[in-house]
Amino acid sequence: MKFVDEFRDPAVISKTADEIRRLADPARHYRFMEVCGGHTHAIYRFGLKDLLPENIELVHGPGCPVCVLPMGRIDDGLSIAQDSNTIFTAFGDMMRVPGRHGSPLQHKARGMDIRIVYSPSDALKLARKNPGRHVVFFAIGFETTAPSTALTLMRAKAAGVRNFSVFCNHVTIIPAIRAILDSPDMRIDAFIGPGHVSTVIGCRPYEWIARNEHKPIVVSGFEPLDILQSIVMILEQLHRGEAKVENQYKRVVPWEGNRAALKAMAETFDLRHYFEWRGMGFISQSALRIRDSYAEWDAEARFSIPGVRVTDPKAAQCGEVLKGVLKPSQCKLFGRECTPENPIGALMVSSEGSCAAYYNYEHRKRQPLTQLSVAV
């Protein structure tokens, strides 16, 4: 399969791993952050850590939108679902994320009309089929998914579908990276840049990281060879004493981004002044809100939102894992009280969560066979 098989070729992967070992200075310890949760899953799924020398440490970043959403925003969304005239819709990976009084799936079991959709346009179709009820779409994601929400808002306005609105929780990647770099307890040598986000925003927005922070950043694809090639490119920069933005994922990511998608986002969204991130607090201009010209399709304008602020369970260390301060296995609850079957934190639920990735691909392979059989 083109653009898959050739990026999983064992011979080329082995040769690239050899190149990494040649370039890595044995007297130095490297810390590279993969920003995107999709990269974290690929690293664990394909066992890429086992191919790297011990002095290259991969740090997991906050690139999972489900994970960074604070518990209070989940409760805010579920407050809308309590209205019996409302159909509340969300992506599947949101359904098991716990709020203060349970997950959306648990609220559905209590009788609320909460449904899984695969796109915001599915929610809009549901509104058209149910003109007597109001359909709310729980929008979530980085710039990757924001264009589809923007286009759906534009279609709803153009068609005059007034029983549809969006509860907007889209966040933006650049302020999150800035917050990580400003953190006093974080040392990062370089970044493996997010591939999916970059298909929309391009590579130019990362230039300040190289220019001001003197950190290399290489936008990477998600196949094993993509990630290993990106590490080679980072090491080559460090070897030359350079810091610049490079695009390893050229087959998908245009340097200037997707202009049509960016235009749709500019039409429908403004930046929020502040937005709370799980484990990272309030970050300035780090999320999107629906423009006043689309207020009729803004759930926050149509419904009374309590604006709940809830701290995570004290024993859960989601914030430290999200910031890369702790590895998933270093959380006190990991693999014991908190598992994919009984998640305490969002990082164990999401398909891009680092805790779920570590549990499924790293933690379980280290367990004795008798323990694994019980877990299964």
The correct answer on CATH 3.40.50.11740 for the domain covering 1-311 is yes
Q: Residue 368: what pLDDT? A: 46
pLDDT band (50, 70, 90) for residue 365:
low
Question: What distance in Å separates the CA atoms of residue 376 and residue 152, rounded to the nearest whole number?
Answer: 40
Separation between Cα atoms, residue 80 and residue 105, nearest integer Å: 15
Q: Which of the two residues, 320 and 163, has the higher pLDDT score?
A: 163
State the Cα torsion 286-258-150-280 to the nearest 10°. -20
Write down the pLDDT at residue 370: 41
Q: Higher-confidence residue: 361 or 116?
A: 116
Q: What is the pLDDT of residue 2?
A: 65
CB atoms within 10 A of CB 12: 15
Mind listing the pLDDT tens digit for each residue in 39-48? 999 999 999 9
pLDDT of amino acid 88:
97
Q: Is the pLDDT of residue 371 over 50?
A: no
Mean pLDDT of 283-300: 96
- pLDDT for residue 33: 95
Give pLDDT tens digits for 175-220: 999 998 988 777 899 999 999 999 999 999 999 999 999 999 999 9
268-280 confidence digits (pLDDT tens) = 999 999 999 987 8
Do 194 and 142 form a contact (C-beta atoms < 8 A)? yes
Q: List Cα–Cα distances, 355 to 165, 176, 276, in angstroms.
A: 32, 19, 21
**Nearest-10 crossing angle of helices 10-23, 224-240:** 20
Dump pLDDT digits (tens) for 15-61.
999 999 999 999 999 999 999 989 999 999 999 999 999 999 999 88
What per-residue confidence (pLDDT) applies to 372? 39
The band of 364, judged by pLDDT with boundaries at 50, 70 and 90, is: low
- Residue predicted with more confidence, 44 or 163: 163
pLDDT at 102: 87
CA separation for the pair 214, 113 (Å, rounded): 50
What would the mean pLDDT of 151-174 be, rounded to a whole number? 97
Give 108-124 pLDDT, tens digit per residue.
Answer: 999 999 999 999 999 99
Average pLDDT of span 65-78 = 90
DSSP string, 144-201: TTHHHHHHHHHHHHHHT--SEEEEEEEB-HHHHHHHHHH-TT---SEEEE-HHHHHHH
DSSP 99: B
Instruction: Tell me the average pLDDT of the chain.
Output: 90
Question: What are the extents of the domains in the chain?
Answer: 1-311, 318-375
- Using CA atoms, how far residue 169 sits from 79, 87, 121, 356, 370, in Å, is 15, 18, 17, 22, 42
